[in-house]
Structure 1
Amino acid sequence: MTLGLALMTGCSKEEIQVSDVAAQASRSNLAEATAQGVVRRSHEYIILSATDALPADLASKTAAANGKLTTELPGTGLAIATSTDPDFAAKASRISGVRSVIHDFSYQGYNPVSARETPALNESDNTNPASTGDNDRFFPLQWGHTAIQAPEAWNAGARGRGALVAVLDGGFDLTHPDLQANIQESVSYVPGEPAQFASTAFSHGTHTAGTIAAVDNTIGVVGVAPDAKLLLVKVLADGGRGSFSWMIQGIYYAVAHNADVINMSLGAAIPRNSKYLDDNGTPDDPSDDKVVNETKEIQELLVAIGKATTYANKKGTTVIASAGNDANNGQRDQDLVHIPSGATGVISISATGPIGWALNPLTADLDRVASYTNYGTSDVDFAAPGGDAEYPGNEIVTVAGVRQYAFAFDMVFSCTSAGRYSWSAGTSMAGPHAAGVAALIVGKNGGQMAPAQVRAVLRASADDLGKTGRDPYYGYGRVNAYRAVTTGFQAQ
């Protein structure tokens, strides 16, 4: 589920856009719909070594198997190659030290949304806790910060300084006034597309980055860790589609550039046993796609992603990913695996969100389980605010000077393209809240903190909601920024 509402800045009147609630694939046909969304890339390959070291002279050995080695990722046991030889995988698999050779797969990492216009906004007043001293214009709309006690963490002196968060996502508005000062570096792994988001539509990457570390500058919104720095890594095209090899390379880049935390608000729910489309070497022409059954390749794809995330953990990078928006019980339906949240060493985040917050902002349940979130005791580590659009009414209300549909206020408000702001909902919005808390933890530690320690602090400080202990919906609990930077270190 991705729902967006964009807001223009820098004008005397702001234009607001609210997305239509996009219909999701029928849950009864979930496996079929997901399989159809994942496409095997006929000429693109991932080479998996039997160990974390790549075989010697792999480039020449790949060439001898009628392929071309394009990328080596030392330390992960992974490499990327291309070949037009249909027997390349079989030939390259015989290279000494190679575990397997599989096709790369593309997937829809998130779904772009269409929008409709709504009435203009008036100036808003700051109604967040006065003790924060914060005067960013749209801070009052960030109920997620209230849910995780981010303002209290700031008051305790924790703002994320010294932490670097890598955001693996679609394109980014690199000149957004609430992001620019915190952007340390940006890079794109999408062929033909720069890191800069190229349109004025909803920018998923900009939205997630803003939730993590929007600058506290009196302009618009504030990130959970407003003093953390951002490493923006584009691994999905602006339309939301990407390849798993781009994700793997993005993880490797983030680690190589000393990211303390990686946030991946993206992914695909993939049946372990299913049929898939093959692009037949022409990814832009679906008319000649063919159906293939590649159960073994999917199993090895999980191993490949796990090699990348394990490497990140070993190098000191905490990896966080959204649990997915399929309303799937992973404990019951173990055939469906969500990548990358299901990979080794990844902290998986489910979503929470209120219904009708705008009508009762002081009493609304901010920790209600979101209607779309994936769940399952073994599938969720923690929960965080992701928003929802389940409120059934269409009335327009005013909160802190902002006039809008009531359901919109239940979503997460953050930055988007062209210097604007947007409401959106999904586990994509929950992950950044948790990544922001992780950045606060790393900053509190003075930087460079082992992922196991970050996880331990998150667990010791989370609010244990639902059933006592780890449960299917909240995992170990909903993250709590204030407790993480105060009692969390002592309790781990």
Structure 2
Amino acid sequence: MERIYKVSFFVGLVMFFSCGGDPHEPPVCLTEDVSDHHLVIFRCSSSQLSNLVSKVGGAVERVHEEIGVAKVSGLSDRAARKLQRNRWWISAVSRDIEVDWLRQRIDEPVETTTETSLRTRDHGDPTSAAFYNFFQWGMKQIGAGEAWSVEQGDEQVRVAIIDSGISPDHLDLSGRYDLSASINLSNNDPSDLEDRNGHGTLVSGVISTNNIRLAGLAPHTTMVGVKVLQDDGSGNFADLIGGIMHAAVDADADIINISFGSHFSTNFYRCQELRTAILCLKLAVHYAKRQGKLIVAAAGDGDEMSMGMDLDANGGMMHVPSQLHGIYSVGATTAINQADFDSLASYSNYGFHGVDVVAPGGNDLLVNGTFTDGIFSTVSPYLVNGSVNRYNMASGTGIAAAHVSALAALISAQNNESLTVEQLKQKINETADDIGEPGRDKLYGNGRINAHRAVTE
């Protein structure tokens, strides 16, 4: 066992993921940012829509009749204008937008050796996981060990991970996904679930594991992979919308985790493409909430040159999707610092209108090339030549969001899935540790989550 600690940690990956685009970029209305397909808002049947679209030379790729939104391909700008003349049935036709949802700050993985002594899948005590006592400070900070003596989750509770893919062959993730409900919306192969970016696998290891080397916060929870991002972390609004709808409708997830986002100008109403895209996203979020799904999202990170943003006084910027109404937004806290308390991570966005709660996300700090206080999690085998037993350090509000999604899964399991979305949020808020100014405050929202209190109070 000692060899496992040394090999897996010291030759593991050191990667750093950011969950937001550059907050200083101008509004997205540029030609290079628009996609080759359109978003259409309609108020007719899907068959009527297909007929209208085909008449102007296009094809409906994906339709969400529940919210009246469709992804349409093959339209020229002229054909799009012609389609929109059907004002009785068509409300909006705009090109979709490509967005850099993720920013990977250290791109090159460290080459690893292959270890062959693999344990079989196990669901024993999470505190017995090989790395728990050595590297998982975040779990200890929120009282996970005490919480696990009360609740470890239930396979009936489902968390959809909308991200860059999943890694069902990883030692600690094997069997934790419902592969039949998982899907890839980012290309033409729905069965291609492989995570070639690494972020989706990273998020997975925070939520649910086999307790072999890594302890996930809700180890018995079932995860559903919803791949909406390309290998470089980019994606479009249509696929994010499709991911939310798949999670809420087809996968019947209880909790939807979105550990990424980007900053946009609040003057997005001046840009038709962005205005339509955000409206369509709002429709999907509101639908999922009405279906009783809790959507948890990262509050967003600053870029390499800036600190986290004050989303109350942000110079005309907003973070999407975390600031959309109906989404539970999560900021990030650090490990214990020299003053013996944890604080808001330097990269984490904040604000009364930007953060509902905070959770461990790790420090934005490299010391002599080593990431000292990140969150330890799983590595996609794709990034390490197929090795199924690699782990890494990472940091970001996306990591923090995963902690909150997992905690919501624990609470839901303990209450036999009887709580509403608002009751779930209330339980998390009321049992959070008030580590800032008394009551809800600008930096920490309702406080830093406390798993032990959440399942015992």
TM-score by length of 2: 0.84
Deviations 1:197-237 (A, max 9, x none): 365xx611101011011122xx2101110010010111111
Aligned to 1:106: 98
Query: 2:98, 2:237 within 8 Å by CA — same for their partners in 1?
Result: yes
Aligned to 1:167: 161
Aligned to 2:244: 251
Q: Secondary structure at the match of 1:350?
A: strand
Determine the C-alpha separation between the residues in 2 that align with 1:345 and 1:60. 34
Letter aligned with residue 344 of structure 1 = H
Determine the C-alpha separation between the residues in 2 that align with 1:430 and 1:49. 36
Aligned to 2:209: 214
With over 3 angstroms needed to count, the CA separation of the structure-2 counterparts of 1:79 and 1:117, relative to structure 1, is: closer
Which structure 2 residues correspond to residues 306-455 of structure 1 after superposition, within 5 A? 306-326=282-302, 327-333=308-314, 335-354=316-335, 364-365=340-341, 367-390=342-365, 393-394=367-368, 408-418=371-381, 419=388, 420-447=390-417, 449-455=419-425
Aligned to 1:205: 200
Q: Secondary structure at the match of 1:485?
A: helix
The answer to whether structure 1 residue 266 and structure 2 residue 266 are counterparts is no
Determine the C-alpha separation between the residues in 1 that align with 2:301 and 2:127. 32
With over 3 angstroms needed to count, the CA separation of the structure-2 counterparts of 1:328 and 1:36, relative to structure 1, is: farther
Aligned to 2:142: 148
With over 3 angstroms needed to count, the CA separation of the structure-2 counterparts of 1:133 and 1:184, relative to structure 1, is: closer
Query: 1:149, 1:482 within 8 Å by CA — same for their partners in 2?
Result: yes
Shift of 1:159: 2.9
Shift of 1:9: 6.5
With over 3 angstroms needed to count, the CA separation of the structure-2 counterparts of 1:265 and 1:20, relative to structure 1, is: closer
Determine the C-alpha separation between the residues in 2 that align with 1:11 and 1:463. 34
Determine the C-alpha separation between the residues in 1 that align with 2:149 and 2:31. 45
Q: Secondary structure at the match of 2:319?
A: strand
Query: 1:34, 1:269 within 8 Å by CA — same for their partners in 2?
Result: no
With over 3 angstroms needed to count, the CA separation of the structure-2 counterparts of 1:133 and 1:63, relative to structure 1, is: closer
Query: 2:165, 2:227 within 8 Å by CA — same for their partners in 1?
Result: yes
Q: Secondary structure at the match of 2:224?
A: strand
Aligned to 2:446: 476
Q: Secondary structure at the match of 1:32?
A: coil
Determine the C-alpha separation between the residues in 2 that align with 1:155 and 1:251. 33
Aligned partner (choices 224, 230, 241) of residue 231 of structure 1: 224
Determine the C-alpha separation between the residues in 1 that align with 2:69 and 2:222. 28
With over 3 angstroms needed to count, the CA separation of the structure-2 counterparts of 1:48 and 1:119, relative to structure 1, is: closer
Deviations 1:38-74 (A, max 9, x none): 9533431111246xx7576111122234432221112
With over 3 angstroms needed to count, the CA separation of the structure-2 counterparts of 1:307 and 1:155, relative to structure 1, is: same
Aligned to 1:462: 432
Shift of 1:342: 1.6
Query: 2:262, 2:320 within 8 Å by CA — same for their partners in 1?
Result: yes
Shift of 1:35: 4.6
Determine the C-alpha separation between the residues in 2 that align with 1:137 and 1:442. 27
Determine the C-alpha separation between the residues in 2 that align with 1:9 and 1:61. 60
With over 3 angstroms needed to count, the CA separation of the structure-2 counterparts of 1:466 and 1:97, relative to structure 1, is: farther
Which structure 2 residues correspond to residues 282-293 of structure 1 after superposition, within 5 A? none
Query: 1:195, 1:233 within 8 Å by CA — same for their partners in 2?
Result: no
Identity %: 28
Shift of 1:319: 0.4
Letter aligned with residue 348 of structure 1 = S
Determine the C-alpha separation between the residues in 2 that align with 1:83 and 1:159. 45
Determine the C-alpha separation between the residues in 1 that align with 2:363 and 2:30. 24
The answer to whether structure 1 residue 60 and structure 2 residue 51 are counterparts is yes
Query: 1:40, 1:103 within 8 Å by CA — same for their partners in 2?
Result: no
With over 3 angstroms needed to count, the CA separation of the structure-2 counterparts of 1:475 and 1:261, relative to structure 1, is: same
Name whichever of 74-83 and 435-444 sits farther off.
Answer: 74-83
Determine the C-alpha separation between the residues in 1 that align with 2:142 and 2:45. 43
Deviations 1:68-95 (A, max 9, x none): 2221112122111123321334333333
With over 3 angstroms needed to count, the CA separation of the structure-2 counterparts of 1:10 and 1:370, relative to structure 1, is: closer
Determine the C-alpha separation between the residues in 1 that align with 2:235 and 2:270. 19
Shift of 1:299: 2.4
Determine the C-alpha separation between the residues in 2 that align with 1:26 and 1:316. 29
Q: Secondary structure at the match of 1:479?
A: coil
Letter aligned with residue 382 of structure 1 = V
Shift of 1:19: 4.2
With over 3 angstroms needed to count, the CA separation of the structure-2 counterparts of 1:134 and 1:32, relative to structure 1, is: closer
Query: 1:38, 1:108 within 8 Å by CA — same for their partners in 2?
Result: no
Letter aligned with residue 236 of structure 2 = S
Shift of 1:32: 2.2
Letter aligned with residue 312 of structure 1 = A
With over 3 angstroms needed to count, the CA separation of the structure-2 counterparts of 1:12 and 1:269, relative to structure 1, is: closer
TM-score by length of 1: 0.78
Letter aligned with residue 187 of structure 2 = P
With over 3 angstroms needed to count, the CA separation of the structure-2 counterparts of 1:31 and 1:319, relative to structure 1, is: same
With over 3 angstroms needed to count, the CA separation of the structure-2 counterparts of 1:456 and 1:324, relative to structure 1, is: same
Q: Secondary structure at the match of 2:128?
A: coil
Letter aligned with residue 389 of structure 1 = D
Shift of 1:302: 1.7
Query: 2:158, 2:224 within 8 Å by CA — same for their partners in 1?
Result: yes
RMSD: 3.3
Query: 1:353, 1:368 within 8 Å by CA — same for their partners in 2?
Result: yes
Letter aligned with residue 347 of structure 2 = Y
Deviations 1:91-125 (A, max 9, x none): 333332433222211111212332475999xxxxx
Determine the C-alpha separation between the residues in 2 that align with 1:143 and 1:209. 17
Shift of 1:471: 1.9
